[in-house]
A and B are shown apart, each in its own frame.
Chain A
Amino acid sequence: MKMDKILLIDDEEDILEVLSLSLRSDGYDVITAASGEKGLEAFERESPLIVLTDLRMPGIDGLDVLKRVKNTNPDAEVIVITGHGDMDSAIDALRYGASDFVNKPVREEALQIALKRAKEKLVIREKLRAYTLDLENMCHIAIGEVKRKSDFQDKLITSSNDGIVATDENGIIVVFNPGAEAIFGVSRIEVVRKTDFANLFPPEIADVFSLMFKSGKDMGDVGWKEITICRKNKSDVPVRFSTTLLYDGEDIIGSVGFFQDLSEIKHLEQELVKSERLAAIGQTVARLAHYIKNILTGLKGGTYIVNIGLDKNDTDKLRAGWCMVEKNVGRISSLVFDLLAYSRERAPEYRSCHPNDIVEDVCELMEGMAMENQIKVVRDFGPRVREVSMDPDMVHRTLLNLVSNAIDACIFDYDNTKQHEVRVKTRLEKGNIIRFEVADNGCGMDEEVRSKIFTAFFSTKGGKGTGLGLLVIQKLVYEHGGSIDILSEVGKGSAFTVRLPYRKVP
Chain B
Amino acid sequence: MSRRVLTVDDDPDITMFVKTVLEENGYTPLVARNGEAGLSMARDESPDLIILDVLMPKQSGIRMYRELKSDESLKNIPVIILSGIAKRTFLRSQEALTEFGDQPIPEPDVYMEKPVEPLELAETVKGLIG
Contact = CB atoms under 8 A, between A and B. Distances in A.
A327 interface: yes
Given A412-B57, A463-B11, A293 B113 contact: yes
A397 interface: no
A298 B16 CA distance: 9
B106 interface: no
Interface stretch (A148-156, A216-224, A300-308): A300-308
A302 B13 contact: yes
A301 B20 CA distance: 9
A305 B114 CA distance: 17
A320 B84 contact: no
B13 A290 contact: no
B58 interface: yes
B91 to A, nearest CB: 16
Given A304-B20, A308-B24, A462 B55 contact: yes
Greatest chain B CB density within 10 A among A294, A324, A327, A412 is at A294
B57 A298 contact: no
Interface in A314-353: 317, 320, 324, 327-328
A247 interface: no
A221 B91 CA distance: 56
B11 A294 contact: yes
Interface string A456-500: 000011111000000000000000000000000000000000000
Contacts of B11: 294, 297-298, 462-464
A305 B85 contact: no
SS class, residues of chain A in contact with chain B: helix
Nearest to B36: A414
Contact of A324 (B13, B18, B21, B84): B13
A296 interface: yes
B56 interface: yes
Interface string B30-57: 0000001000000000000000010111
Greatest chain B CB density within 10 A among A291, A293, A297, A320 is at A297
Nearest to A290: B84
Nearest to B56: A462
A418 B116 CA distance: 37
Given A293-B115, A304-B118, A298 B13 contact: yes
A317 B24 CA distance: 12
A298 B9 CA distance: 12
Contacts of B116: 297, 300
Greatest chain A CB density within 10 A among B17, B113, B117, B118 is at B17
A308 B118 CA distance: 11
Given A293-B114, A297-B116, A463 B16 contact: no
B97 to A, nearest CB: 19
A320 B16 contact: yes
A463 B53 contact: yes
Nearest to A325: B13
B14 interface: yes
Nearest to B14: A297
Nearest to A317: B20
Contacts of A293: 84, 113-115
A290 B57 contact: no
Contact of A297 (B13, B20, B55): B13
Nearest to A327: B13
Greatest chain B CB density within 10 A among A304, A328, A461 is at A304
B114 A462 contact: no
12 contacts: A290-B85, A297-B11, A300-B117, A301-B14, A301-B16, A304-B118, A305-B16, A305-B20, A308-B24, A460-B57, A463-B10, A464-B11
Given A297-B84, A298-B11, A298-B14, 7 more contacts: A289-B84, A290-B55, A300-B115, A305-B16, A327-B13, A460-B57, A462-B60
Interface of B: 10-11, 13-14, 16-18, 20-21, 24, 36, 53, 55-58, 60, 84-85, 113-118
